[in-house]
Amino acid sequence: MLAWMDERALGATLTTGQTHFYSRSRRKHWHKGGTSGHVQYVESIAIDCDGDVLLIKARQMGGACHEGYRSCFFRRITSGGRIELIAEPVFDARTVYGSSRETGQASAKSDRALDSARE
Amino acid sequence: MLAWMDERALGATLTTGQTHFYSRSRRKHWHKGGTSGHVQYVESIAIDCDGDVLLIKARQMGGACHEGYRSCFFRRITSGGRIELIAEPVFDARTVYGSSRETGQASAKSDRALDSARE
């Protein structure tokens, strides 16, 4: 998954050992797994050469993706440009997040990378 | 490394089997390894749930990072918040890219994620 952090989210991640992010579309901080229990236990945090991207390796409880998959990257693009499914869901997203929440977030899709994973 | 693609860059990546990107700061397309020979041979391209992030697995020639490391993620953040080096350079960045180029790109750092890797 890819999500945004600010300084406070990184601080909470370092302090708790679980990932915290900042949603630009909802303008709020969120704790990955706070609602679903699908938390991420941080194993390592690498920072890139110019210091604006973090690569976090974590032990994922349940699934990272709001669509019920372990990873948000559950499809691949073939060399011919087609999109193919490459994974099976690991949980029922509707049961975990509820359909009302699904609808509620659909309006915030302009900042889409933020919504690729859920609390 | 993290870099931006647009439709044309993705098309070139699919067609050639080597990664191509789009630099937002320089407003031009670039072929990773075009200058240095440090190309990336694409092994797989996954796309995330909402279709705005690609995760590309590639066979890296030389190093991906303009600072001479195999990966741009050559430092880690400790649980105490300190930054530590976790890798050794694999090539001499000054020899490969030249010092003038180094200076030339320093002014484009406002769009920093783009400059974390070089041609």
Cβ atoms B70, A52 nearer than 8 A: no
Pick from B2, B14, B79: which is nearest to A14 by CB?
B79
The reported pLDDT for the residue numbered B97 is: 85
Chain A contact present for B112, CB below 8 A: yes
What is the Cα B40 distance to its own chain's centre?
10
Give the other-Cβ count within 10 Å of B19's Cβ.
27
Give the other-Cβ count within 10 Å of A96's Cβ.
17
- Given a cut of 70, whether residue A23 has pLDDT beyond it is yes
CA distance A66 to A58: 17
Cβ atoms A20, A42 nearer than 8 A: no
Q: Which of A21-35, A78-92, B101-115 has the lowest mean pLDDT?
A: B101-115
The reported pLDDT for the residue numbered B99 is: 63
Show residues of chain A in contact with B113, CB under 8 Å: 48, 50, 52-53
For residue A26 the two structure tokens come to: 């909802």
The reported pLDDT for the residue numbered B107 is: 36
pLDDT bucket at A117, cuts 50 / 70 / 90 = low
B22 strand-pairing partners: B29
The reported pLDDT for the residue numbered A109 is: 37
What is the Cα A92 distance to its own chain's centre?
16
User: Using the beta-carbon criterion (under 8 Å), do B73 and A46 form an inter-chain contact?
Assistant: yes
Chain A contact present for B106, CB below 8 A: no
Cβ atoms B25, B34 nearer than 8 A: no
Q: Which of A58-62, A65-69, B74-78, B106-110 has the lowest mean pLDDT?
A: B106-110
Q: Quick one: closest CA in A to B43, which residue? A: A79
- Given a cut of 60, whether residue A114 has pLDDT beyond it is no
Helix, strand, coil abundance in chain A, percent, nearest 5? 25, 25, 45
For A80-94, write each residue's pLDDT tens digit. Answer: 999 999 999 999 999
pLDDT bucket at B112, cuts 50 / 70 / 90 = very low
**Average pLDDT, rounded, for chain B:** 88
Interface of B with A in 75-104 (CB under 8 A): 75-77, 79-81, 83, 86
Residue A42 region by backbone torsions, left for phi larger than 0, else alpha for psi between -120 and 50, else beta: beta
What is the Cα B61 distance to its own chain's centre?
12
